[in-house]
Each structure stands twice: as C-alpha cells, then as structure tokens.
Amino acid sequence: MAAKQKSDYAIVIHGGAGNAPTDQEFIEARERVLEQALSTGTAILDKGGTSLDAVEQVIRILEDSPLFNAGRGGVLTAKGHNELDATIMNGETRACGAVGGVTTVKNPISLARRVMTETRHVLLAAEGADAFAQQLNDPAVEIVDPAYFRTKRQAERLKRLKEREKLTPEEQMGTVGCVALDRHGNIAAGTSTGGLVNKKHGRLGDSPIVGAGTYADNSTCGISCTGVGEDFIRNVIAYDIHARMHYRKQNLDTAISQVLKSKEHPIHGGIIGVDRRGNITMQFNSGGMARAAADSTGLRVIEAGK
Ligand code: ASP
C-alpha cells in the first residue's frame, strides 16, 4: 500500500552542527532568528508559493544574521578573511546552482540560484563567481565590501583557535541550510556557509558540492548537511541518502540515521531532510545543531540549545 501524505507542505532549517552552546543569551538570540526564518518560509509555502522561494528567502535571513556561519558572520580562513559557499537545488528538475569562495556577495544563496537560472553551469568559484554577481546587476544579488562579513565574534574565535595546535571537528563547524516541500509536491534544498574556521585559502567544503552537502529529487527527498565537509564529500552523503531511499527503499529517517552512525565511513555533523510525503528529519552526531521545522498540520519546532 502506498504511504500516506503526511502534510501538504513542510519546511526544515538548520543553523549548523557543532558543540552545544551554553550561553543562554546567544541561544535565545539564535532562536529569534530561526523563528523569523521559519515564519517567512512557512508563510510562502502556506500561500502556495514555491519551495525554491521558501528556501532562498529563509537562507537569506540566516545569511544576514551575524549569529550563524553563513553570509555576515561567516567564519574566517587562516588568512583572516571570508570565503563563502552556497548551493540551491530544484527537486522537480534536478536543476541546481552553486558558488564557492565568494568574497563580495551579501547573499550567496541568491547568487547560487542565479547560477542555476541564468547560466548553463552548475558551479562558479572565486573571482569568476564574484564577477558574475557584478554583471547581474540584480537587487537580490547585492555587492558588499569584504569587511561587511568580518564580525568581532569570528575574529576572536579564529585568534583563540589559532593559539591551539589541534581543533576538534566540533569547534570548527557551523552552516545554514533549508529544505522545503511545497503544495505542488516540489522539493527544494539549499545550504550556505563560511566553511570551517581556519580553513586554507581556496578550500571548498561540501556546501557548494551538489550531492555532497545538498541534494533534492522529488521522487525521494531534499537534504542539507552540516559538519566536516571533507567527510561529506568523500561519502557523497546527500546523494547517498537519496540513493538509499531510491534503490534500497529505506525511509528518510533510517537512511539518515544509518549514514550518521556508520563506523566504516564516519562523518561528523548533522543532516536535515524532507521527503515527498512531507516527513521531516533533523539528526546529528555532534553536541548540538540549531534547527527549526514546521508543516501544514501545525507542527512547529525551534531549538538552538543542543
Ligand atoms: N560543512 C561545512 C564545510 O565543511 C561546514 C559546516 O557545516 O559546519 O564547509
């Protein structure tokens, strides 16, 4: 018997995996941003808007906040500057767009969407991506001075961590992502990040790699990942979850939990997803992962404390 539709629309957001925060003010401030992002995404979906619009608008809010590792507030490279990565994917067509290592684009997720819709390419990186943003002359793709991204919090964090020889994976992570199913049955997924703190200049993680950090296919699910990007690239995690559902007929929950528990191919971080029936999953093997979710049945969850 075919599985029943769980909800007409569904949305899930993550604000990055890592250590569970202990500062109550920071937790509450993040929850307020997640609340605003969730309400924006839910309003778009409730009115019959597209999952692509919901994902882009939600991620823009998180990119504009200095409290998350994406856009303003992104972590710094070992050289002390910001290099930002993002991907968006349309589960109806498998169309996708991504940018890597951009330094002047306020909202990398919107630039990723323009790569998908305005070029014949999937991934633009570094100067070429920044130059494409300039040429677009599009109000949604605002150009800013690189200093805009450099927050005191991240500068102090880099300094603190550089004084130590080795960092635990959890001290380096953070990212934002969103997956949505709309009333038309279309799934979209997006991810945006500053990457890993103290990363090498030019390093790209999983977030701009379709199939590693982000994937969407209407026949199965949409996925956004956060964690040590190298783990997610080696194991093609977002696509692997789709493949487990498609070929092994696993459900979304099982596919994600098996991937996160794998001893053979360990990964550190968290994964969110929505399947075509509107089932939502948020799982992580780190100390915490800020997250939020809502659907058409009235579900509403916001958690930034663990
Ligand atoms: N996955 C991101 C990267 O490796 C970082 C993160 O999610 O924390 O660039």
The 3-state DSSP class for residue 264 equals coil
pTM for the whole structure: 0.96
Query: Any idea how long the chain is?
Result: 306
**How far, in Å, CA of 303 to CA of 306, rounded?**
7
The answer, yes or no, to whether any atom of ligand 1 lies below 6 A from the CB of 278, is: no
Residue from 59, 193, 268 to probe ligand 1 pocket by mutation (most atoms less than 8 Å from CB): 193
CA proximity to 225, closest of 214, 234, 233:
214
The answer, yes or no, to whether any atom of ligand 1 lies below 6 A from the CB of 207, is: yes
The answer, yes or no, to whether any atom of ligand 1 lies below 6 A from the CB of 51, is: no
Per-residue pLDDT at 167: 64
- Which ligand 1 atom is nearest residue 199's CA? 9
The answer, yes or no, to whether any atom of ligand 1 lies below 6 A from the CB of 123, is: no
Q: Which residue has the tokens 């659907």?
A: 295
Distance in Å, CA 85 to ligand 1 centroid:
9
CA proximity to 176, closest of 67, 296, 90, 96:
67
The bridge status of strand 96-102 relative to strand 123-125 is parallel
Distance in Å, CA 228 to ligand 1 centroid:
5
For residue 289, the one-letter residue type is M
Distance in Å, CA 197 to ligand 1 centroid:
9
Would you say residue 1 has pLDDT above 60?
Answer: no
Per-residue pLDDT at 20: 86
CA proximity to 67, closest of 154, 195, 161, 192:
154
Distance in Å, CA 237 to ligand 1 centroid:
13
**264-283 pLDDT tens trace:** 999 999 999 999 999 999 99
CA 34, 37, 40, 45 torsion-angle sign: negative
Would you say residue 156 has pLDDT above 90?
Answer: no
**Cα separation of the two ends of the chain:** 37
Residue from 62, 157, 196, 223 to probe ligand 1 pocket by mutation (most atoms less than 8 Å from CB): 196
The answer, yes or no, to whether any atom of ligand 1 lies below 6 A from the CB of 206, is: yes
The strand order across the sheet containing 214-216 reads: 214-216, 221-227, 269-275, 280-284
Per-residue pLDDT at 160: 82
The answer, yes or no, to whether any atom of ligand 1 lies below 6 A from the CB of 173, is: yes
Would you say residue 165 has pLDDT above 80?
Answer: no
Distance in Å, CA 182 to ligand 1 centroid:
27
For residue 74, the one-letter residue type is G
The bridge status of strand 288-295 relative to strand 300-303 is antiparallel
Return mean pLDDT, the chain.
94
Task: Please indicate whether residue 235 or residue 4 has the higher confidence score (pLDDT).
Answer: 235
Q: Active-site residue numbers?
A: 175
Distance in Å, CA 49 to ligand 1 centroid:
29
The answer, yes or no, to whether any atom of ligand 1 lies below 6 A from the CB of 229, is: yes
The answer, yes or no, to whether any atom of ligand 1 lies below 6 A from the CB of 226, is: yes
**107-135 pLDDT tens trace:** 999 999 999 999 999 999 999 999 999 99
Per-residue pLDDT at 305: 87
Task: Please indicate whether residue 207 or residue 1 has the higher confidence score (pLDDT).
Answer: 207
